[in-house]
């Protein structure tokens, strides 16, 4: 029977970039509203089985109350309440259940965590974070209808055309797999993870990007100043106190200058190594890994990233079938 998972991060859009920049705040009330509107779209298409990730903020509350007699409401036994561990485990459970897709409310960081454990389940990523290069901004009602059409479609060719597999950056330390990034992986000279978010370009030495969209906010905006990234490629940028000076909005309302010393495009067969370096590695805008001079770092681009449902294409496809 068709089913949909829902992972909503109550902490998304609430980090330090509200103090050092002008990051928007998405309230828990609005996140709860987004969930309800998405489920209304699903329900209109006849979907009944929903699996929620529970959270202390009860983002699911208004939705489950409204649909308690109409849908089969299930809660994932995540064993954690809030934090990255819960998101990781919720994604794993949704993958094990075999849901037809998963709604993810958050930014690049939340989607990165989901992507690590979601397997081949298509993601419907709706933006409620700070840097939102991976998720989309769209009315959740439309997204719910699109997801419903995708799930209900009987034509395999059409279903296949509505999802795409994204690339991902991987980092290994001392020949052991460590983590991934969906949009950007930054080598920072800051020695501690600290508040995680990066808002000062002077701490960057190298940057790896899977996309360089000029309308994005975040580190990926820097790449758009030098080139567009072709399909199945990524870009590596190196920074110094000299070079080509560019400016980019690396956080909401924060436009910064940085000097690009060198850059190059690369694809799946390229490996970059880094040694004798002390600092941190930021994944999708947030410092996550502390590295030391003794470590050997290896960064690659891989094509086996998460699958994503193309919401807009799904809506267009349904309209085409009716005409």
CATH of span 3-166+306-322: 3.40.50.10330
What element of type H or E holds 202?
none
Q: Check residue 18 and give its pLDDT.
A: 45
Confidence of residue 1 (pLDDT cuts 50, 70, 90): confident
- pLDDT surpasses 50 at 82: yes
Q: What is the pLDDT of residue 23?
A: 57
Q: Are 285 and 219 in contact (CB under 8 A)?
A: yes
**Considering only CA atoms, which of 119, 129, 55, 60 is closest in space to residue 91?**
119
Residue-wise pLDDT tens digits, 11-21:
765 555 545 55
In the predicted model, what is the mean pLDDT of residues 192-203? Answer: 79
State pLDDT tens for residues 16-41.
Answer: 554 555 556 678 899 999 999 999 99
pLDDT in tens, 271-304: 999 999 999 999 998 889 999 999 999 999 999 9
b/e burial code for range 225-244 (CB count within 10 A of at least 16 → b): beeebeeebbbbbbbeeeee
Q: Which CATH class is domain 168-302?
A: mainly beta
* Residue 45 structure tokens: 């298409």
Interval 83-139: pLDDT, tens: 889 999 999 999 999 999 999 999 899 999 999 999 999 999 999 876 678 999 999
pLDDT category, 150, cuts 50, 70, 90? very high
Domain segments of the chain as ranges = 3-166+306-322, 168-302
């Amino acid at each position: 029977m068709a089913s949909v998972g829902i992972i909503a991060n109550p902490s998304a859009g609430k980090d330090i970039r509200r103090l050092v920049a002008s990051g928007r705040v998405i309230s828990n009330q609005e996140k709860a509203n987004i969930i309800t509107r998405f489920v209304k779209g699903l329900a209109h298409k006849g979907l009944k089985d929903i699996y929620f990730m529970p959270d202390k903020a009860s983002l699911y509350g208004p939705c489950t109350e409204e649909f308690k007699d109409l849908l089969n409401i299930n809660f994932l036994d995540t064993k954690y309440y809030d934090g990255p561990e819960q998101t990781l485990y919720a994604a794993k459970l949704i993958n094990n259940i075999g849901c037809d897709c998963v709604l993810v409310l958050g930014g690049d960081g939340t989607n990165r965590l989901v992507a690590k454990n979601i397997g081949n389940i298509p993601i419907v990523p709706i933006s409620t974070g700070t840097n939102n290069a991976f998720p989309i901004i769209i009315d959740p009602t439309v997204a719910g209808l699109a997801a419903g059409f995708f799930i209900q479609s009987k034509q395999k060719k059409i279903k296949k055309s509505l999802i795409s597999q994204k690339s991902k950056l991987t980092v290994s330390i001392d020949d052991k797999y460590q983590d991934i990034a969906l949009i950007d992986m930054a080598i920072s000279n800051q020695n501690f993870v600290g508040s995680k978010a990066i808002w000062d370009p002077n701490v960057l030495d190298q940057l790896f990007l899977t996309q360089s969209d000029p309308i994005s906010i975040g580190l990926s905006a820097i790449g758009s100043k030098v080139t567009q990234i072709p399909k199945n490629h990524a870009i590596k940028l190196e920074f110094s106190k000299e070079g080509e000076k560019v400016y980019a909005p690396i956080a909401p309302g924060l436009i910064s200058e940085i000097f690009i010393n060198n850059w190059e495009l690369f694809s799946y067969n390229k490996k970059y190594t880094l040694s004798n370096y002390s600092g941190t590695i930021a994944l999708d805008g947030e410092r996550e890994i502390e590295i030391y001079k003794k470590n050997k770092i290896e960064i690659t681009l891989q094509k086996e990233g998460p699958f994503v449902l193309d919401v807009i294409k799904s809506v267009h496809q349904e309209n085409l079938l009716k005409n």
